[in-house]
Amino acid sequence: MADHDDDLAVSKTEGFKVGEKKTLQEYQELDKDDEAMIRWKASLGLNPGNPIGKAGDPNCVIKSLALVTPGRENVVIDLSNPESLATLKDKPFTIKEGAKFHIKAVFQVNNEVLSGLKYVQVVKRRGIRVSKDQEMLGSFAPSTTDKPTYEKDFAEEEAPSGMIARGHYNAVSVFVDDDNHTHLQFDWSFDIAKDW
């Protein structure tokens, strides 16, 4: 995985500064009479219900990634289980060349607001980087009994096609936030083939 570390560097937005970290209680009390602030806090999804995170839980738990293709059953990768994470690289799934698809992430946020969650993915073929993608997922309030998980759909993509594109690919993915805290990093693989 070390050969991917430089590739996984998250690009920074010029001029953007990470705000001061606050507890959920501080956010709820923040400018509670300011209409614009009330709308902003609602946009964070400060959810009704009881918090489900417990003391000591990681702030963000990535549950799964799914490959969503119209007309086909989703290919779901369980990311919540260390045993399944360990086998992802050795159990590639197949993507049909030229197929349109998108990725869907499911995750849980515990105990405090998660600021600026991003997904970064580097794909290599025969050791040569062929792509690097970065998707901003956003900022999220802690999960509650009324909203236990978040789902985020990524932008639609199209698999490469042609004889040269077909074959085996290795990838490494990371979920990282504005504080540069890595919530999950894992290796996986896939094959591009003429058919499913």
- Of 28 and 168, more confident: 168
pLDDT by residue (tens digit) across 19-66?
666 665 666 566 667 777 667 666 665 667 888 888 889 999 999 999
- What pLDDT was estimated at residue 125? 95
Give mean pLDDT, residues 138-156: 93
- What pLDDT was estimated at residue 1? 45
Query: What confidence tier does 122 reach under pLDDT thresholds 50, 70, 90?
Result: very high
pTM reported for the whole predicted model: 0.78
- What pLDDT was estimated at residue 53? 87
- What pLDDT was estimated at residue 2? 47
Identity of the residue numbered 193: A
Q: Which residues, 6 or more positions from 105, have their beta carbon under 8 angstroms from its beta carbon?
A: 62, 64, 65, 119, 137, 151, 152, 154, 175
Rounded Cα–Cα distance for residues 178 and 112 (Å): 14
| % of the chain with per-residue pLDDT over 90 | 59
- Of 33 and 143, more confident: 143
Judged against a pLDDT cut of 90, whether residue 176 lies above it is answered with yes
Judged against a pLDDT cut of 60, whether residue 127 lies above it is answered with yes
Judged against a pLDDT cut of 70, whether residue 4 lies above it is answered with no
Rounded Cα–Cα distance for residues 166 and 94 (Å): 10
Give mean pLDDT, residues 78-99: 90
Three state DSSP letters for the chain? CHHHCCCCCCCCCCCCCCCCCCCHHHHHHCCCCCHHHHHHHHHCCCCCCCECCCCCCCCEEEEEEEEECCCCCCEEEECCCHHHHHHHHHCCEEEECCCEEEEEEEEEECCCCEEEEEEEEEEEECCEEEEEEEEEEEEECCCECCCCCEEEECCCEECCCCCCCCEEEEEEEEEECCCCCEEEEEEEEEEEECCC
Give mean pLDDT, residues 95-118: 94
What the block records as the tokens of 38 is 């009330």
Sorted by where each starts, the structural domains of the chain and their CATH numbers stand as: 21-193 (2.70.50.30)
Rg of the chain over Cα atoms, rounded to whole angstroms, equals 19
Average pLDDT, the chain: 86
